């Protein structure tokens, strides 16, 4: 499964060859700061590369798309989720695993909260970013779908695991969306409540709305 990040990362092993002038992280950092001051659409690649001191061509060697700089962190979160799902005890009900694992995978230390909030605002409002979003979301959802299918002992393209994956994804997105309009709310709490509201449970237990 080629996780298909939009990054074209330069080779990591530095045994020979010209040393890199910059890095994906550095470019993403510079870019995100410009996005916050000028807005995503108003920031050009020329702005970013000028600030970073490299040529435009170099930018596109690190990222396939301008929007891709916003998704640097995503693969790490994706990997955390996958690891948490793999490590979950088999006897734990699948919905409880998800209530626990998804907020945990998205957890960031307090000092990154404003960064995470800014990122969420950019991810959910800039149209060009949405184009890349679908592919990332698909991986997130697929992890949950596979997990649910395994727990339900059904093929992953059955409707129920599909629904569980879709619910997990939309809970994640809705929580962030709600969060950016209510920034004082606690994201993990929002996440857990939405997961409880949205994830279907096969045992006929009540949905968590009250």
CA neighbor of 116 nearest in space, from 188, 22, 38, 24: 188
* Closest to DNA by CB, 44 or 114: 44
Residue 178 has what DSSP assignment? Answer: H
**Using rule CB under 7 A, residue 2 touches DNA:** no
Out of 58, 75, 154, 170, which residue is the one contacting DNA (CB under 7 A)? 58
- Number of shown-chain residues binding its own copies (CB under 8 A): 40
Out of 31, 32, 35, 66, which residue is the one contacting DNA (CB under 7 A)? 66
Which of DNA, its own copies, none has residue 194 at its interface (CB below 5 to 8 Å by kind)? its own copies
Contact, 41 vs 126, CB < 8 A? Answer: yes
Residue 92 has what DSSP assignment? Answer: S
**Using rule CB under 7 A, residue 180 touches DNA:** no
* Residues whose CB falls within 8 Å of the CB of residue 70, separated by 6 or more in sequence, listed in order: 28, 32, 35, 119, 122, 123, 129
* Closest to DNA by CB, 69 or 190: 69
Contact, 70 vs 119, CB < 8 A? Answer: yes
* Residues whose CB falls within 8 Å of the CB of residue 10, separated by 6 or more in sequence, listed in order: 20, 23, 61, 62
* Closest to DNA by CB, 24 or 101: 24
Question: What string marks each residue from 108 to 137 as x (binds its own copies by CB under 8 A) or -?
Answer: ----------------x--xxxxxxxxx--
- Paired residues of 7 in beta bridges: 63
Which of its own copies, DNA, none has residue 55 at its interface (CB below 5 to 8 Å by kind)? DNA
Kindly give the residue spans of alpha helices, DSSP state H, lying in 39-158.
45-52, 56-62, 74-87, 94-105, 113-125, 127-152
Give the count of beta carbons closer than 10 Å to the beta carbon of residue 193: 16
| Least Cβ distance, residue 159 to its own copies (angstroms) | 6
**Using rule CB under 7 A, residue 89 touches DNA:** no
- 151-170 residues in contact with its own copies (CB under 8 A) are 157, 159-160, 162-163, 166-167, 169-170
**Tokens standing for 77?**
């979160």
Residues forming the site for DNA (CB under 7 A): 10-11, 15-22, 43-46, 53-58, 60-62, 64-67, 128
Q: Which residues bind its own copies (CB under 8 A)?
A: 124, 127-135, 157, 159-160, 162-163, 166-167, 169-171, 173-174, 178, 181-182, 190, 193-194, 197-198, 200-202, 204-210
């Amino acid at each position: 499964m080629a996780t298909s990040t939009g990054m074209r990362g330069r080779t990591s092993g530095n045994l020979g060859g010209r040393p890199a002038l910059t890095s994906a992280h550095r470019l993403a950092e510079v870019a995100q700061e410009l996005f916050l001051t000028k807005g995503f659409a108003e920031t050009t690649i020329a702005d970013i590369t000028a600030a970073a001191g490299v040529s435009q061509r170099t930018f596109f060697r690190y990222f396939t798309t301008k929007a891709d700089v916003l998704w640097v962190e995503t693969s790490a979160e994706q990997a955390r989720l996958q690891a948490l799902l793999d490590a979950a005890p088999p006897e734990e009900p699948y919905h409880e695993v998800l209530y626990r694992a998804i907020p945990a995978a998205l957890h960031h230390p307090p000092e990154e909260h404003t960064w995470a909030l800014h990122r969420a605002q950019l991810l959910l409002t800039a149209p060009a970013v949405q184009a890349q979003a679908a592919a990332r979301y698909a991986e997130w959802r697929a992890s949950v779908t596979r997990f649910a299918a395994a727990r339900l002992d059904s093929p992953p393209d059955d409707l129920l695991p599909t629904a569980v994956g879709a619910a997990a994804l939309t809970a994640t997105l809705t929580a962030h969306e709600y969060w950016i309009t209510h920034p004082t709310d606690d994201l993990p709490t929002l996440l857990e409540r939405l997961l409880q509201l949205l994830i279907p449970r096969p045992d006929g237990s009540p949905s968590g709305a009250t």
